Amino acid sequence: MKPWGTKLLFAAFMCGMQVAQSAGQDTLLDTAKIHAILALNGTWNAEERVYRVSSPKTDIKVTVDGFTLPSFLGMSSWAAFKALSEDHVMMMGDFALLQDEVNPVMSVALQNGLEVTALHNHFFYDEPKVFFMHIHGEDSASRLAIAYRNVMEKVIDIRVLQLQPRKGFGGTAIPQKSSLPAAAIEKILGVRGETNNGMFKAVIGRKTKMSCGCEAGQDMGVSTWIGFAGTQDSAVADGDFAVEENELRNVLVALRTADIYVLAIHNHMTEETPRIIFVHFWGKGRVTALAQGIRTALNVLKH
C-alpha cells in the first residue's frame, strides 16, 4: 500500500469508526471499512444515505488562463457509496487526471471491475491539461473501495516515475507523407474504405431514433469512423466509435488491451433511442497491429 502506511490505516480506521457512530449512517453500509481502505476523510449525507470521500489533486499545480486553480474549485477526485442491499453497494465517482494518467488509470479501473462512463475536460486554457473520468460500480463496499484505491495508487505510480506530465504519446515520429496498404487494412477491419494521399478512412453507419420520431443515421453523424495515416511500420489511427450503452465497456476494454488511447467518452445527441455514446481514440504503432485492435473493438458492435 504505497501511500497508505500501517499507522495511517489504523488512524483512519479509528476515525472512520467515530464517523460511523456519530453520523448514524445506514447499517448496510460499513463506512468505517471504506475509510480504513481509502484513508480519506468522508462525509455522511443522511437524507440521501450516501457516504462520500474526496481527494484533492495537489501533486501538480494547474493553472487556468494563468490563474492557479485551487482544489476547492473542482480540482479533486471523489467517490460516493450507497447501499442497495446487504453487501450490495453502488459507487459513483470522478477522477481528475492529467493527459498521461488517463489511459493507464482507465485500464486499472476496467481491470478492477469498474465501469468508465464518461471522459471529458472541465476547463479551457488549463496548463497542464486536466481531464475528468467518471466511474460507476456495484459490488460490496470493500471491493469497491479497493478498486478505487487501486486506481488512485496508479496515479501515484505514474507521478513517482515522472513528476512532470509527458508532452506526447512517445514512440517514433509519424511521417508526414503517408503510404499505407489499404487492401490489407480493409481485410483486417472487414469493411471497405477510401484513400487520400496514402491515408485510409472507413465509416460505418448506425441508426437511432430521435425524439421527433425521425431516424438519424450515418450522414447525420451516427457513425463509427476510423482513419489511418503514416506508413506500414509507423502509423497513427484516429477515429470515433458510436456505441450503445451496453457496448461501451467492451469497446473500452478492446481499445485499451490493444494499447490504443481513449481520448473522450461523451454524447453527441439527447433523447435518442437507443442512446448512442461516442468514444474518440488515437493509436500509434504498426498499422496492422492498430487495425487488429480496432477490429476487436468493432466486433463488439451490433451491426
In this predicted model, what pLDDT tens digit does every residue of 102-115 receive, in sequence order? Answer: 999 999 999 999 99
Helix intervals (H) in the chain: 6-23, 31-38, 99-111, 141-161, 182-189, 248-257, 287-298
Contact 64, 123 (CB under 8 A): yes
pLDDT in tens for each of the 303 residues of the chain? 444 443 333 334 344 444 444 344 667 899 999 999 999 989 999 999 999 999 999 888 999 999 999 989 989 999 999 999 888 999 999 999 999 999 999 999 999 999 999 999 999 999 999 999 999 999 999 999 999 999 999 999 999 998 888 888 988 899 999 999 999 999 999 999 999 999 999 999 999 999 999 999 999 999 999 999 999 999 999 999 999 999 999 999 999 999 999 999 999 999 999 999 999 999 999 999 999 999 999 999 986
Q: What is the pLDDT of residues 30-82, one digit of tens each?
A: 999 999 999 998 999 999 999 999 999 988 899 999 999 998 998 999 999 99
pLDDT at 14: 40
Count of Cβ atoms closer than 10 Å to residue 296 Cβ: 17
Residue matched to cell numbers 497513427 = 236
pTM to 2 decimals?
0.88
Cα separation values, 123 from 67, 131, 157, 165, 279, Å = 12, 9, 25, 17, 20
SS3 (DSSP) at 139: strand
